[in-house]
Amino acid sequence: MRKAWLVGLVITAALGSLAISLGNLDLAIAAPTIESTPVPAPQKPDFAPMKYLMGTWNCTSKSSRRPTASKFTTANSLDSTGYWIIGQDYAPGASWYPYATKGIDKMTYDSDSKLWIDVYTDDRGGYGISKSPGPHGNTIVWSDAYFTPYSDIVSQSPTTETFSSTKRVMHQTFRVKSGMVNRVDTVCIKTS
């Protein structure tokens, strides 16, 4: 009797060992292999559709809820990596916002999403992320990729821009909590 019990124990142990070995084989087969080939560098964007942006622009922006227009300049150039258009922005302030502001505007093309991406930050805590499928003729429409209601503004329209090599005209509307819709019109003239 003792011998039968011992044989059963040995068979059970052998079957358990075989099951563990087969389980490890499954894990070995399913485990990913470690690649040694370097990931290729992302392709640099073709900035030809955005070449109209290059250079320095003097801009005037008028909001329907402000007494006077604000002015700013932006100087756009391709960065040294070839992946971004960099805009150096400067606004001296206005009577209703008497604070000089410096901003950085960075634009690139996301080949996975097939969208132009614009990322803006400034030294007053301002920020924005916009996206666009790109120009159609002499018009481009930018939508907010990350709009968060703030202050009394609860929604905004996409920005529609018409352009030539020397002039850009942008239009946008926004709605405030009271329900009133305001408009912002911006005109930029190329200076160099």
Region 40-50 average pLDDT:
95
Which has the minimum average pLDDT: 1-15, 80-94, 149-163?
Answer: 1-15
Sequence-distant (6+) residues with CB within 8 A of 39 are none
Residues 70 and 28: their CA atoms lie apart, in Å, by 65
pLDDT above 60 (res 13): no
Region 42-58 average pLDDT:
97
Indicate the average pLDDT of the chain.
Answer: 88
pLDDT above 70 (res 148): yes
Residue 56 shares a structural domain with residue 18: no
Region 103-131 average pLDDT:
96
pLDDT above 60 (res 11): no
The answer to whether residue 43 sits within a structural domain is no
The answer to whether residue 41 sits within a structural domain is no
pLDDT above 50 (res 22): no
Count of the separate structural domains present in the chain:
2
The answer to whether residue 40 sits within a structural domain is no
What CATH number has the domain bearing residue 171? 2.40.128.20
pLDDT at 136: 97
Q: Token pair for residue 61?
A: 């922006």
pLDDT at 149: 80
Sequence-distant (6+) residues with CB within 8 A of 186 are 59, 60, 61, 62, 168, 169, 170, 171
Residues 121 and 98: their CA atoms lie apart, in Å, by 19
Domain of 9, in residue numbers: 1-34
H or E stretch including 11? helix 2-30
The residues facing 107 across adjacent strands are: 85, 118
pLDDT above 90 (res 141): yes
CB 162 within 8 A of CB 139: yes
Q: Please name which of 188, 50, 68, 167 lies closest in space to residue 109, comparing C-alpha atoms.
A: 50
Residue 133 shares a structural domain with residue 93: yes
First to last CA, the chain: 102
